[in-house]
Each structure stands twice: as structure tokens, then as C-alpha cells.
Amino acid sequence: MHETLNNLYSSVIPLAVLGVTAFILKQLVANWSGSSNRGPFAPGPKPRFLVGNLYDLPSSDVAHHYAEWGRRYNSDILHASALGNHFMILNSFKDAEELFEKRASKYSDRPIAPVIKLMGWDSNMAFMPLGDEWRRHRRVAQQNLRQDAMVQYYPIQLEKVHRMLQGLLDTPERFDYHNKMLSMSIPMSIMYGHDLKSLDDPFIVAAEESAIMGLKLLQPGYTLINVLPFLRYIPPWFPGAVAQRMAKETKKMADMLRLSPMETVKNQLKEGTALPSMIAKYIEGESGYKEDEDVVGGLAFTVYSGASDTTISATSTLFYLLATHPEVQIRAQKELDSVIGTDRLPGFDDRPYLPFIEAIYREVLRWRPPTMLGLVHRASEDDMYRGYYIPKGTNVFANIWAMAHDEKKYEDPHAFKPERFLDADGGLNDDDRILTYGFGRRICVGKHLASTSMWLTIASILATFTFSKAKDQDGNEIEIKGDFYDSGIITHKNHFQCLILPRSETARRLIQEINTPTF
């Protein structure tokens, strides 16, 4: 044991010296590279010697802090440097559109984060740097998840949403559970053909535990592995190597989520018991496009991990807003009754004829975006924008929350008002951009799947249920606090109580008579 420790120290200490030296040089360059001949950095807090703005960067409630920076420095574009890295925050949609879309060739990369590989999340397309591997994943995504391909997934989405309605009817107090089941079962079924029966499912348990630890490791300031890459060589059993242990456990579960479903589908295909899924289609060669299993498996992992948590977030926000805004429910239900009546449930063909339901969908995702701060983009070359110097390698973030609450665009932006997306005639206006899906080439690959699932959920629960505040034993309403928490990348509504009742006996009967086929 002593010999092992001695060998470890003899290898780690030189790495540490080199790492710290490189860090100091990098930070010196980061602090002073904005020379006058290139132009100044964007406004932001003044950096300290060596550490830069390390102590200025927020570690929680990040989007709100950066919005406050914008007011403090009177700028929609902000700059900071810390531990040798440059950061740029964009609080304005027009700036994000300019850089991420009009200059996409310069701002479509991702930074290479050592902790991502340690966690096994490097197979997740969302975190991949720009390159051939990412392009292969993107081709498969475009083939399977483009807008006109959604119709093939409609039966699965209908079945899962109808199953959620049955759950809300049977045990409405467990709405959080039913929300999770819905949000996780749709991508699991579409990607893997896995019919989720319970949240105790091994895949779901692994996914939740992996997400909890992984999102913590991605929080700014949680670990120095990304700043001092030599730290990744410290073994997980070494004293104090908490992040390394978390990363190892996260990787074990990520590998399970990526590989085990693939093997399960292969076995089911041999036995003739496989349900239709994207994985099955590729294994059987029915896709018409040849790709490595790693690409297909990686995309399935990307869609599942991205879709489930964001959908849980959006749907819990929806439940909260419906319970606290009865006037919105009344208007939505009048529209539903006038368009589809009360003798059937909404379907995808109804979407163009329900503008207020569409407005609710847009407003839920504007009012509280699941991703308050978009995933980081990396500048792949030096650039100048609005007179500010952006060095190659700068980490550029879109502050989705700030853009969605821009007072110049949205009157009373903190209020929940779906009607802001309607014109004077009651039709939809042209403000159809859902910012939480991201920008440019890095826009969410599953945005169409998320959109159809979320819309159907909104329409279906409003057609069948009424949400209101719960009451105590004396009949008094229990106030619902409007508090949320940030899990690192995704924001979630804290648990609350509410009353969920079927709108009518007709609605109850519709749910009970649903024929839920197996796909």
C-alpha cells in the first residue's frame, strides 16, 4: 500500500506542478490578451490577479445573476475570465441570433471538458465538440427527428399521455409521479421500445442517479477537473477525490443506459418480441442509412437524457401555473369545447385550430424555461462583435431567462399571460421561437418531439381536468409558493399541493374508456 501511494505521489506531483504552471500562464494570458489593438472585452466585473473573476461567477441561480450583471454594467453582452478561461454571456436575443446563427461557423463548437469524458457523457451529442462524430450523430438525428417524421411517433405519444390521464384520475395527489412517468416513458419507448411500467425500473433509477451526480459535476465551481485537467488522473479511491468517485459512478450508469438497452433490443429481435423503436429499426437495417451502433446508441442516449428531465420541468411548471391561474383554464377549456366538443380527446390534427392552447405552450416555456442558461458554445476562432474582442476558445452562453423576460419585447414579463402570443383577432402572432431549444446548429435535436409531446399533454389535461389550490381540513385554500430550484442545468418547480379533479362525468368516462394499445 505504501509503495502504491509513493508511486502515485511521484506521478501526480509533477503533473500538479506542470498543471498549476500552465494554469498561471493561461490566466495571465486570459487577463491581458484583450490588448488595445484588438479591442476591449465586453463589460463585466474587474478581474483579480491570477484568479480573474473566479469569485464573481455565480454558482446558483446563474441566469438571474447574469441578468443583474446586465443592469449593473448597462450591457446585454458581458465578459468574465476565471482560471484561464474566457466567458461571454448574451442577455439579448439579437446578439445570440447574430453569433450562434448568422456566425454559426464560428460559434457551433463545444468546449472539451475532461469531466464529461470521465462521466461517460461524451457519447451525448449535446456535449460533443464540433467534428465528424458530431456530424454523424446529427445526420441520424435529422433523419429520425425532423418535423415531418413526427407522425410515426404519434401513437406512442397518445398512448403515454392517455396513460397519464388515467393516473391523474386514479391518484391525482401523485401528479409528480405521473409527470415523471410520462416524461420518461415517451423517449424510452420511441428510442428503445421499452414500455415503462414503474419508476423503479432499473433504467430509470440509473438515469436519475446519473443525472443528479452529472449535473452537479457540471455546475460552475463544483470541481476543478475542467480547470486543472491533470486532476482527472487522480484515482477515485484517493482521499478527497469526491468528484472522481462521482464521475466514475456516473459513467457506470451512463454506460448501462447506453449499452444495456441496445443489447436488450437485440435479444428481443432474436426472440421476436421487440417493439418498434429507433434502435430496432437500425439494427434490422430498415432505416435506409448505415451508421455504427455507437452513433445510434449515442443519439438514443442523447434524446432520452435530454427529453426526460426538460419535459418533467416544463410539465411541473404547467401544473403549477394552471393551479394558480384559473382564468387561463376557463379560456382554454372554452376553446377546446368549441373546437373538439366534449365527446372525444384532443388529437394532433386539432393543433392548428386551437390557438390559445398553442399560446399556453409558448408561454409556459417562456415564463420558466427548463434551461434558464443555454448549453455553452465555444468560439472556434478570434472574433470581433459590436466593438468587443472575443478570443478563440471563449465560452459563450445564451441567457435564455433574460431573453424570455426582456421588458422591451414582453410587457409585464414576469406575469403568466398566454394571450401575449395572440393577435387582435385571437389568432397566433409570429412570435413562435421557443428559446429554451437553443440556437443555430446546436439547437435541440429533439425539439419537434418535445413540442408535440408538450402540446398534447397541455391539450389533454385541460380537456379532462381542472386544477386548483388544495384545501386544508377547514376548507381554506393552501397557498402555493412560487419557488423553483436549479439542478445545475435544468430548473424545477419545488413540490407543492394542488387539487386535480375531472371536469365532468363525461371527462371521467372518456378517460376510463380509453383503449390504450401496446406499441
pLDDT of residue 515: 53
Q: Report the percentage of the chain scoring pLDDT > 70.
A: 90
pLDDT for 17 equals: 44
What's residue 11's pLDDT? 45
Binding-site positions: 444
| 336 occurs within a structural domain | yes
Q: Are 79 and 88 in contact (CB under 8 A)?
A: yes
CA angle 370, 312, 421 (to 5 degrees): 50
Contacts (Cβ under 8 Å, ≥6 apart) of 380: 105, 106, 107, 108, 109, 130, 392
Assess if residue 204 is contained within a domain. no
175-192 and 242-271 helices, crossing angle to 10° = 60
DSSP assignment of 443-490 equals: S-TTHHHHHHHHHHHHHHHHHHEEEEE-B-TTSPBPP----EEE-SSS
- What's the structural domain count of the chain? 1
Question: Which range, 22-26, 197-201, 374-378, has the best average confidence (pLDDT)?
Answer: 374-378
Residue 487, pLDDT score: 64
Residue 273 lies in a domain: no
d(CA 291, CA 424): 49
**Pairwise pLDDT comparison (12 vs 123), residue with the higher score:** 123
Residue 61 sits in which domain range? 1-115+124-137+148-193+309-514
Residue 82 lies in a domain: yes
pLDDT band of 259, cuts 50, 70, 90: confident
Mean of pLDDT values over 480-496: 86
Each residue of 133-181: pLDDT tens digit? 999 999 888 888 899 999 999 999 999 999 999 999 999 999 999 999 9
Residue 217 domain-assigned (yes or no): no
| Residues contributing to the annotated binding site for heme | 444
Place of cell 394499445: 517
Residue 376 lies in a domain: yes
Predicted local distance difference test score (pLDDT) of residue 220: 62
Identify the CATH number of the domain in which residue 70 sits. 1.10.630.10
User: Would 256 be classed as within a structural domain?
Assistant: no
User: Using N-to-C axis directions, what is the helix angle for 175-192 and 154-170, rounded to 10°?
Assistant: 160
Cβ atoms of residues 393 and 383 within 8 Å? no
Q: What is the pLDDT of residues 32-58, one digit of tens each?
A: 544 446 789 999 999 998 888 888 888
Q: How would you class 428 by CB atoms within 10 Å of its CB: exposed for 0-12, middle for 13-18, buried for 19 or more?
A: middle
- pLDDT value of position 423: 96
More confident residue, 514 or 292: 514
Q: Is the pLDDT of residue 248 over 80?
A: yes
Q: Residue 457 above 50 pLDDT?
A: yes
Residues 161 and 509: beta-carbon distance below 8 Å: no
Structural Rg of the chain based on CA atoms: 24
H helices present in 120-201, as ranges: 132-145, 154-170, 175-192
Distance CA 359, CA 325 (A): 14
Residue 39 lies in a domain: yes
Instruction: Give SS3 for 272.
Output: coil
Residue-wise pLDDT tens digits, 367-409: 999 999 999 999 999 999 999 999 999 999 999 999 999 999 9
